[in-house]
Structure formats: C-alpha cells, structure tokens
Amino acid sequence: MLLLYAFMAALLSSAATAITCPTSFVEIDGACYSFRPEIQGTWSAARDFCTNLTTPSTLAMPKSPDTHRRFVEYIATYGLDGSFWLGGSDLEHEGDWHWVDKTRIDRGTPFWSITSELLGWSQEPGGGGEENCLALDETRRYYLNDVNCDLALHPVCQMK
C-alpha cells in the first residue's frame, strides 16, 4: 500500500512538473502564471489585460496556501515591487468573496492579512463597500487584502 502511494505520488508530481508554460509565463504548482510588474492599472483593466493576452488567461487565482507562498517566493526571488491584482472580488454581492471562476475564496488564516487597529487586531477583508477587489498587498507582506478597485496595481495572469 505504501509502495502504491509512493508510486502515485511520483506519478502526480511528475505530471505537475511536466507542464511547459509559454513565454512570459512561469510554472507554479502545475499551472502557468505571468507576473507583470511593468503593467499598472485598475482591477478591471488588469482583468482585461489578462483576457486579451494571446495566451487565453484570467487574473490569477492562487487558491492553496502552497501556491500563495510560492507567489510570494517568486516576487521576492525576482525583486518585484508593488502590489498585484488577483482574480477575486466581492463586486457581485458585498462581503461574498469569489474567484473569477465563481468558486468561493477561503477566509481567514493563512490567506488574509491581519491589521492592528485602535481596538486590537482584525483580519481582512475589512473595507466593506469601499474595497471590493482582491490584492496581493505589498504593504501587508503579500497577504490578501481587499482594496479599492480603482487603485493602480500590477496584474498576475493565469493561463486558462
């Protein structure tokens, strides 16, 4: 049984690393992502930027803690500056956070930033109707934060 498990694990990991991503994309956890620090715009402009790439893409959806951590490692490794837009929002229903593929965004730790306020610690998302778009926030050490959709941040695209 243990051998079978090891075999399956090897098979899965080799399948995950077999992906070849197109130019300007990088493979992280079996998917292809493109970090674009040279592009800056609103959340909807960033979403359109990804949609209009020659490689069909959406804004990135790093759904697992491992993928989130590898995003942060990538940003640190390449010394990228600034905050990045991710493919998530609560634009359709206030407080109801979804990825752009309509799946629900996990709340709480280890994804969302905590912040120290007058009455103690609180956790994002905390912007209510003013902050409806999902950012990988540089000022929060690249934890998730809900921010104003009109901020000028950089897109991270994910190949479809």
Which residues form the interface with Ca ion (CB under 5 A)? Answer: 124, 126-127, 131, 145-146
Distance CA 74, CA 30 (A): 15
Q: Tell me whether residue 39 or residue 114 sits nearer to Ca ion (CB atom).
A: 114
Q: Tell me whether residue 53 or residue 59 sits nearer to Ca ion (CB atom).
A: 59
Distance CA 6, CA 12 (A): 10
CB of 33 to Ca ion, least distance (A): 23
CB of 124 to Ca ion, least distance (A): 5
CB of 138 to Ca ion, least distance (A): 14
Residue nearest to Ca ion (CB): 127
Q: Are strands 31-35 and 154-159 parallel, antiparallel or unpaired?
A: antiparallel
| C-beta separation of 99 from 91 below 8 A | no
CB of 40 to Ca ion, least distance (A): 19
Q: In 3-state terms, what secondary structure has residue 85?
A: strand
Q: Tell me whether residue 52 or residue 139 sits nearer to Ca ion (CB atom).
A: 139
Q: Tell me whether residue 53 or residue 147 sits nearer to Ca ion (CB atom).
A: 147
Distance CA 33, CA 156 (A): 7
Sign, CA torsion 132/122/63/72: positive
